[in-house]
Amino acid sequence: MPSFLISGATGFIGRRLVADLAEAGHAVRRALRRHVQALRGIGDVVVGDVDGHTDWRTALQGIDVVVHLAARVHVLRETARDALAAFRETNVHGTERLARAAAAAGVGRLVLLSSAGVHGLAAHTSALTEAAPAAPHTAYAQSKWEAEQALRDAAVQTGLSTCVLRPPLVYGPQDPGNLLRLVRLVARGVPLPFASVRNRRSLVYVGNLSSAIVTCALHQAAGSRTYLVRDGQDVSTPELIELIATSLGRPRARLFAVPPALLQAGAAVFGQRTAMSALLGSLALDDSAIRAELGWKPRWSLEEGLRQTLDWYKSSLPGPRDGAR
Cross-strand bridge partners of residue 240: none
| Residues 32-81: tens digit of each pLDDT | 999 999 999 999 999 999 999 999 999 999 999 999 999 998 654 555 66
Which DSSP state fits 41? Answer: T
From residue 216, give the alpha-carbon distance in Å to each of 80, 121, 230, 302.
34, 26, 14, 21
pTM: 0.93
| 117 belongs to a structural domain | yes
| Residues 170-214: tens digit of each pLDDT | 999 998 787 888 999 999 999 999 999 999 999 999 999 999 999
**Confidence grade of residue 98 (pLDDT, cut at 50, 70, 90):** very high
| 277 belongs to a structural domain | no
Which of 140, 171, 227, 313 is catalytic? The answer is: 140
Sign of CA dihedral 241, 243, 246, 252: positive
Mean pLDDT of 113-142: 88
* Contact predicate 238/297, CB 8 Å: no
**What three-state secondary structure class fits 128?**
strand
Percent of the chain scored above 90 by pLDDT?
A: 79
Which DSSP state fits 26? Answer: -
pLDDT value of position 278: 81
Mean pLDDT of 152-175: 96
Average pLDDT, the chain: 92
Question: Residue 159 contacts by C-beta under 8 Å, 6 or more apart in sequence?
Answer: 103
pLDDT value of position 267: 81
**Confidence grade of residue 124 (pLDDT, cut at 50, 70, 90):** low
| 259 belongs to a structural domain | no
CATH number at residue 124: 3.40.50.720
- The alpha carbon of residue 288 and the mean position of all alpha carbons in its chain are separated, in whole angstroms, by 19
Domain tally, the chain: 1
| 249 belongs to a structural domain | no
| 253 belongs to a structural domain | no
Domain that holds residue 93: 4-172+203-230+284-299
Mean pLDDT of 93-106: 98
For the question of residue 140 being annotated catalytic, the response is yes
**What three-state secondary structure class fits 303?**
helix
Question: Residue 181 contacts by C-beta under 8 Å, 6 or more apart in sequence?
Answer: none
pLDDT value of position 271: 75
| 186 belongs to a structural domain | no
| 270 belongs to a structural domain | no
pLDDT value of position 25: 97
| Residues 218-265: tens digit of each pLDDT | 999 999 999 999 999 999 999 999 999 998 988 788 999 999 999 989
pLDDT value of position 178: 79
Q: Where are the alpha helices (DSSP H) in the chain?
A: 12-23, 57-60, 83-87, 94-104, 139-158, 178-187, 206-218, 237-247, 260-269, 273-280, 288-294, 302-316
